[in-house]
Structure 1
Amino acid sequence: MTTDQHGLAMSGASAAAVRHYDQAIDELLHFRVEVDAETNAALTESPDFPMGNVLSAYLGLLTTEVEDARTARVRFGAFRRRIDETSLLPRERAHVAAVQALLDGDFLTCGRLLGEITVRHPRDALALAAGHQVDFFTGDARSLRDRIGGALSGWREDDRHFGHVLGMYAFGLEEAGHYDRSEQVGLRAVELNARDVWGIHAVVHTYEMQGRFGDGVRYLDARLPDWSAGTFFNIHNWWHYCLYALESGDVPRALAVYDSVLADGQSCMELLDAAALLWRLHLEGSGQPELDERWRALADAWPGRVSEPFYAFNDMHAVMAYVGAGRVGDAEKLIATREAYVLEPRPGVTNRDMTLRVGLPVCRAIVAFGRQDYPAVVDLLYPIRHRINEFGGSHAQRDAVQKTLLEAALRGGLQDVARVLVSERINVRPCSPYNWLKQAALADALGRDAEAATARLRAGDLVRDAARG
């Protein structure tokens, strides 16, 4: 019997395996690729080390990659057959149950079981990190906030990973709409650990949701060495950088970042960032000759990633890539497989419900947008616009769906719907140039020239004010 770096008892591990496990947790919290090597080293030292096997399974399951999940399922099943689970410590048995729920496709039960672990063991960094990701994948803002907030009292300022816990909490606060508090907590997290890329990411999200794109660019520029390399999360933070560029109207800058960083993405997470950026450009009418080659390369990267249903949020981005590349037939084939998938009863499989309630309507709407059937886009998206969170992602990521709905309403001449959507956006983020430009487009459609000119001037003023800081 031994303990990890946070004082939690563990069984079945040599001293060397524990050292590798502790380092793996540190690498995980830093989003560094070395987490895999350290986890494998721990299991080489002690193949039946329960928490090492649990960590390995989470790593395979939380990538949302079908092949990684398949490998994790085989390895974890072999581990369970080799051991006597009654000999495990209660916390270890609880983790095994949580992993098995995730292997079975039940994100919600996994999240609940991980929450029960942190009630008893608030210093279980793995339970917090895995649970935080499950909450992200299910779009549960309240749990993103309270899972971490409820554990904070179990940590001390001088704990090695206290800053990382604060970084997770900052992101939960942001997703739950507590922007002032999120910024405060996120900045403190990064003060404690300058290379906490999740904490940096939380601050960036806070600025995004408030329309503070100038502050966001300056924050990322000032910390470029801390987040732009040495982590498997750097592409996503570069994606946020591109969002700020688009908000300021700097399309060439966004495309330059795309070509130098996003275009080389390999994982589902990286591919969806690429699709999400190109789709925003597509919505704004960026010419096809300018984007064609980028769309083709991106569409070619998706088929193996979505060959079978696994995570509806990924499906949406694959459909974006197919539609952007003019491969509507491929998009329709993917949708057809998901339509067949949801017809089969799959008790407890979270992705089935995600696909049925949100994934399929969104994918169909993207295809309809590609066909310029804008009323169909509105018919599909308007009824579900307040529950799009159910298939995961962040507010910033899901805004691509909201922008698709708004653009379809404008192009389809559905002016009452467009008015509602623009009004909602401006009153939440009055400092967003994008929102004022859409107000101008609506005013143009209504023949209100003075109102359109005023809105465009407002957008221009916001861009200049942001540049001055």
Structure 2
Amino acid sequence: MAQRDTYGLPLSTTSDEAAALYREGVALMLSAWPDAAEVLDVASDADPEFALAHAARARLHAIHSETAEARSRVAIARKKRVRTEREASHVDVLSLALGGQSQQALASALAHVERWPRDVIILSLPLGAFGLFAFSGMADHNQAKVELCARHAAAFPEEDWWFLTYYGWSLAENGVVARGRAMLERAIELRRENANTAHALAHAMFESGANDAAEALIADWLPDYPRGGILHGHIAWHAALVALERGDADGALAIYADKVRHSVSQGTPINIISDAASLLWRLQAYGHAVPEGLWQDAAAFARKAFPRPGHAFVDSHMALLEAATGDSAGLDRRIAALDEMVGNGALGAGAIVPTIGRAALAFAGEDYGGCAHILEPMAADVARIGGSNAQREVIEDTLLVALMRSDEATKARALLDRRLHRRPSPRDSRWLSGLAA
């Protein structure tokens, strides 16, 4: 009998064991759950010629920021037996994505899922906060994700936990929060051992200002997620944001020390660095003290993890770290390199990235009027750096605090009104009341 994956697509293996392990390993990978690597490795051992098992392992290496290993493993997949056009295309798309050819990978992934929409590893590539759409430099990547999911919704059962997760998250990020949250709540009922759904649900709750619900979700769910889970530290970061929303700086710092800081988190470098930079920057911008050494510790880790500029989302957070630690020379070099990339058309997100660097430098130097002057004209382009709404809000917070501290009360009130219209926020309400006093 022909082997098939979970979604009914044929698999080029005759091994029942390899096929079963592949289905299990892919489900674990799509859930961001530990043991996916071990299961996919055993699948490859059960049938060393099974190309898609190697391809899935390559994708998992990439998720864990193991770039060299990912490229090596997808090269192995290309050499293995591939019996169907779909599998050959699957491997080709992954080769482009893992080889750093992001624009070509996005175009190829979209073409691939037009023919095989249920090929979820490929459909997942454009989706999420760190997917090909988010890191394409597009300003409207949230809308693009919704449209992609809507286009292929008919290919999936109504209660497919994976599709509900990514469609629900895409909707919530794009402002259709109630519908997105309902999908995510159903998805986590269908598969509780799914860190991607718990993470996406925390985002949906953030989008609606449901802080108590987010705190309860994380407190109930996170203890059952192994500390080795790739999203453990990042989901805890969401709890730290809730604490900050209440004004509980000590609570946020305790979460940071226990679960988010690089010395305790087993997440990916991009999450560890962005979580550290954005949380510590928020603390300081909101008027709380950052304990001595935390900035320097985070910056030292970040410099080793990302020694060269060229990634819009990373560079935006590196700018916060360099500005906060007083590394103006390092930040000047980064800005100059980014300006050159923008001029050469080599940075898809464009001028917003060096602009964030300049604004961060002004803010750290207490030139709040200068910061607002730099950042305000470019504020609409911040989405182009990628990531999620919650992650990017640190840049909007910077502009907002700069406006408040430079006596631009009218502009600050207008920005707060827009934010409060989108979602209730105790912190924003306190700020608005202070401006009215």
Alignment match, 1:299: 299
Q: Does 2:191 match 1:196? A: no
State TM-score, norm by structure 2.
Answer: 0.88
In the alignment, what sits opposite 1:259? 257
What SS is found at the alignment partner of 1:285? Answer: coil
Counterpart-to-counterpart distance in 2, 1:384 and 1:50? 45
Q: Equivalent residue for 1:368?
A: 362
User: Is the CA contact (8 Å cut-off) linking 2:379 and 2:396 kept in structure 1?
Assistant: yes
Alignment correspondent of 1:212: 210
C-alpha contact 1:358 1:388 (8 A) present in aligned 2: yes
Return the alpha-carbon distance in structure 1 between the equivalents of residues 3 and 28 of structure 2: 21
Structure 1 equivalent of residue 221 of structure 2: 223
- Shift in Å at residue 83 of structure 1? 5.5
- How many angstroms apart in 2 are the aligned matches of 1:384 and 1:46? 53
Distance in 2 (alpha carbons) for counterparts of 1:55 and 1:363: 37
- CA shift for structure 1 position 279: 1.0
How far off is 1:100 after superposition? 3.3
Matched residues in 2 for 1:62 and 1:259: separation?
A: 24
Matched, 1:412 2:406: yes
Query: What's the offset of the Cα at 1:377?
Result: 1.9
| Correspondence for 2:321 | 321
In the TM superposition, residue 250 of structure 1 has moved relative to its aligned partner by 1.4
Shift of 1:157: 5.6
Q: Deviations over 1:43-97 (max 9, x none)?
A: 344445332233233334445x4xx2244334434654x458xx65221232233
Q: What secondary structure, in the 3-state scheme, does the structure 2 residue paired with 1:261 have?
A: helix
Instruction: Answer whether contact 1:13 1:49 (CA < 8 A) is retained.
Output: no
- Report if aligned partners of 2:260, 2:272 keep a CA contact under 8 Å in 1: yes
Distance 1:33 1:328 in 2: 40
Would you say 1:100 and 2:98 are equivalent positions?
no
Q: How far, CA to CA, are the matches of 1:172 and 1:47 in structure 2?
A: 37
More helix per residue:
1
CA–CA distance in 1 between the matches of 2:111 and 2:188? 28
Deviation at 1:104, TM superposition (A): 4.8
Percent identity over paired residues: 26
What is residue 433 of structure 1 aligned with on the other side? 426
How far off its partner does 1:275 sit? 1.6
Mapped contact 2:24–2:39 kept (Cα < 8 A)? yes
Task: Name the amino acid aligned to 1:336.
Answer: A
- Gap change, CA 1:78 and 1:54, over 3 Å in 2: closer
* Structure 1 unaligned spans of 5+: 347-351, 444-450, 453-469
1:60 and 1:357, CA in 2 relative to 1: closer, same or farther beyond 3 A? farther
Query: For the structure 1 residues 39 and 379, does the alpha-carbon distance in structure 2 shift closer, same or farther, using more than 3 Å as the test?
Result: farther
1:276 equivalent in structure 2? 278
Letter matched to residue 307 of structure 1: P
C-alpha RMSD of matched pairs (Å) = 2.6
Match of residue 52 from structure 2? 51
Residue 2 of structure 1: aligned partner: 3
CA gap of 1:343–1:306, structure 2 versus 1, over 3 A, is: farther
Shift of 1:154: 2.4
Q: Which residue does the alignment assign to 1:467?
A: none
TM-aligned CA distance change 1:335 to 1:12, over 3 Å: farther
1:89 and 2:84 are equivalent in the alignment: yes
Gaps in structure 2 of 5+ consecutive residues: none
Deviations 1:196-241 (A, max 9, x none): 2222222222221122212222232333434474521111111111
Contact 1:292 1:325 in 2 (8 A): no
Is the contact between residue 309 and residue 341 of structure 1 (CA under 8 Å) also seen in structure 2? no
Q: Distance in 1 between matches of 2:47 and 2:134?
A: 32
Which residue number in structure 2 is paired with residue 147 of structure 1?
A: 148
C-alpha displacement at 1:315, in angstroms? 1.7
Deviations 1:282-323 (A, max 9, x none): 111222xx4221112111101122212452111222222232
